[in-house]
Amino acid sequence: MSRYYLTTAIDYVNSRPHLGTAYEKVTADVIARYKRLAGFDVHFLMGNDEHSQNVYKKAVEEGFHNNPVAYCDRMEEEFTAVWKALHCSYDDFIRTTQPRHKAAVQKLAQAAYDAGDIYEGVYEGWYCVSCEAFKPEKDLVDGKCPIHPTLTPEWIRDKNFFLRLSKYRDRLIKHFEANPSFLEPEIRRNEILRLLDAGLEDISMSRAGQSWGVPLPFDPDSVVYVWFDALINYATAVGYGTDDARFAQWWPADLHVIGKDITRFHTVFWPAMLWSAGVEPPHQVFGHGWLHYGGQRMSKSLGTSVDPVEAAAKFGPDAIRLYLTKEITYGSDGDFTWERFEERYNVDLANNFGNLVSRVVSMADKYRAGRITPAGDGGRLAGVAGAAFERYRKGMDAFELHEGVAAAYELVDATNGFIADSAPWKLAKDPANAARLDAVLFEAAEAVRVAAVLLRPVMPSSCDEILRRIGAPVTGSDLRLDHARWQSAAERATVQGPPMWPRSEPKETIVTEPAAPASATSAPAAPVPAATAPAADTRIGIEDFLKVELKVAKVREASAMPKSKKLIRLLVDVGEPEPRTILAGIAEGYQPEQLIGKTIVIVANLKPRPMMGTESNGMVLAASGPGQPPILVAADDSLPPGTRVG
Ligand SMILES: [Zn+2]
Better-predicted residue by pLDDT, 275 or 643: 275
The pLDDT > 70 percentage for the chain reads 95
pLDDT band at 589 (very low <50, low <70, confident <90, very high): confident
Task: Give CA 521 to chain center in angstroms.
Answer: 53
Q: How far is the CA of 128 from the centre of ligand 1 (A)?
A: 5
Better-predicted residue by pLDDT, 42 or 645: 42
pLDDT at position 597: 87
**Is the predicted pLDDT of residue 510 greater than 60, yes or no?**
no
Q: How far is the CA of 297 from the centre of ligand 1 (A)?
A: 14
- CA distances in angstroms from 187 to 197, 286, 322, 623, listed in the order given: 16, 11, 25, 42
Whole-angstrom distance, CA of residue 40 vs CA of residue 257 = 18
Better-predicted residue by pLDDT, 446 or 131: 446
Q: How far is the CA of 293 from the centre of ligand 1 (A)?
A: 20
- Tell whether the torsion through CA atoms of 29, 34, 37 and 42 is positive or negative: negative
CB 151 within 8 A of CB 129: yes
Q: How far is the CA of 148 from the centre of ligand 1 (A)?
A: 5
Better-predicted residue by pLDDT, 515 or 153: 153
Q: How far is the CA of 43 from the centre of ligand 1 (A)?
A: 32
Q: How far is the CA of 154 from the centre of ligand 1 (A)?
A: 11
pLDDT at position 507: 60
Contacts 24+ apart (CB under 8 A), 75-83: 75/13, 75/48, 76/13, 76/48, 78/16, 79/11, 79/13, 79/16, 79/17, 79/48, 81/309, 82/16, 82/17, 82/22, 82/308, 82/309, 83/22, 83/25, 83/46
Average pLDDT (44-48) is 98
Q: How far is the CA of 131 from the centre of ligand 1 (A)?
A: 4
Average pLDDT (343-367) is 96
Query: Between vectors from CA 135 to CA 132 and to CA 139, what angle results, nearest 5°?
Result: 140
Q: How far is the CA of 149 from the centre of ligand 1 (A)?
A: 8
285, 228, 243: which is closest to 261 by C-alpha?
285
pLDDT at position 537: 64
Whole-angstrom distance, CA of residue 114 vs CA of residue 108 = 10
pLDDT at position 531: 38
The pLDDT > 90 percentage for the chain reads 72
**Is the predicted pLDDT of residue 528 greater than 80, yes or no?**
no
Q: How far is the CA of 90 from the centre of ligand 1 (A)?
A: 29
**Is the predicted pLDDT of residue 443 greater than 80, yes or no?**
yes
Q: What is the pLDDT of residues 60-91, one digit of tens each?
A: 999 999 999 999 999 999 999 999 999 999 99
* Mean pLDDT (the chain, rounded): 91
Whole-angstrom distance, CA of residue 337 vs CA of residue 293 = 6
Q: What is the pLDDT of residues 616-639, one digit of tens each?
A: 889 999 887 767 788 888 888 878
Whole-angstrom distance, CA of residue 582 vs CA of residue 585 = 10
Q: How far is the CA of 260 from the centre of ligand 1 (A)?
A: 14
pLDDT at position 529: 37
Better-predicted residue by pLDDT, 436 or 302: 436
Q: How far is the CA of 423 from the centre of ligand 1 (A)?
A: 60
Say if strands 619-620 and 334-336 run parallel, antiparallel, or are unpaired. Answer: unpaired
pLDDT at position 123: 81
- CA distances in angstroms from 76 to 23, 65, 120, 286, listed in the order given: 18, 18, 35, 25
Q: What is the pLDDT of residues 403-427, one digit of tens each?
A: 999 999 999 999 999 999 999 999 9
Q: What is the pLDDT of residues 424-441, one digit of tens each?
A: 999 999 999 999 999 999
Quickly list DSSP for 151-166: -PPEEEEEEEEEE-GG
**Length of the chain as a residue count:** 646
Q: How far is the CA of 272 from the centre of ligand 1 (A)?
A: 24
- Ramachandran region, residue 643 (left: φ > 0; alpha: ψ -120 to 50; beta: rest): beta
- CA distances in angstroms from 481 to 32, 392, 611, listed in the order given: 13, 10, 50
pLDDT band at 521 (very low <50, low <70, confident <90, very high): very low
Average pLDDT (121-128) is 89
Element holding 27 (H helix, E strand): helix 19-37
pLDDT at position 565: 82
**Is the predicted pLDDT of residue 519 greater than 50, yes or no?**
no
Peptide bond just before 252 cis, omega within 30 deg: yes
CB 189 within 8 A of CB 149: no
Q: How far is the CA of 333 from the centre of ligand 1 (A)?
A: 19
Average pLDDT (223-248) is 98
pLDDT band at 506 (very low <50, low <70, confident <90, very high): low
Q: What is the pLDDT of residues 188-212, one digit of tens each?
A: 999 999 999 999 999 999 998 889 9
Q: How far is the CA of 250 from the centre of ligand 1 (A)?
A: 34
Q: How far is the CA of 132 from the centre of ligand 1 (A)?
A: 7
Quickly list DSSP for 358-403: HHHHHHHHHHHTTEE---TT--HHHHHHHHHHHHHHHHHHTT-HHH
Query: Between vectors from CA 235 to CA 233 and to CA 236, what angle results, nearest 5°?
Result: 60
127, 254, 261: which is closest to 188 by C-alpha?
261
571, 595, 235: which is closest to 419 by C-alpha?
595
Average pLDDT (139-168) is 91
CB 19 within 8 A of CB 308: yes
Q: How far is the CA of 416 from the centre of ligand 1 (A)?
A: 49
Element holding 440 (H helix, E strand): helix 434-455
Q: How far is the CA of 126 from the centre of ligand 1 (A)?
A: 10
CB 277 within 8 A of CB 115: yes
pLDDT band at 442 (very low <50, low <70, confident <90, very high): very high
Average pLDDT (550-579) is 86
Q: Which of 349-353, 488-492, 575-579, 600-604 has the highest mean pLDDT?
A: 349-353
Whole-angstrom distance, CA of residue 138 vs CA of residue 531 = 62
Better-predicted residue by pLDDT, 266 or 65: 266
Rg of the chain over CA atoms, in angstroms? 30
543, 448, 534, 529: which is closest to 487 by C-alpha?
448
Say if strands 568-573 and 285-288 run parallel, antiparallel, or are unpaired. Answer: unpaired
**Is the predicted pLDDT of residue 533 greater than 60, yes or no?**
no
Q: Within 13 A of 170's CA, how many CA atoms are on the CB side?
A: 1
Q: What is the pLDDT of residues 595-622, one digit of tens each?
A: 988 899 999 988 888 787 788 889 999 8
pLDDT at position 509: 44
**Is the predicted pLDDT of residue 445 greater than 70, yes or no?**
yes
Q: How far is the CA of 130 from the centre of ligand 1 (A)?
A: 5
State if pTM tops 0.85. no
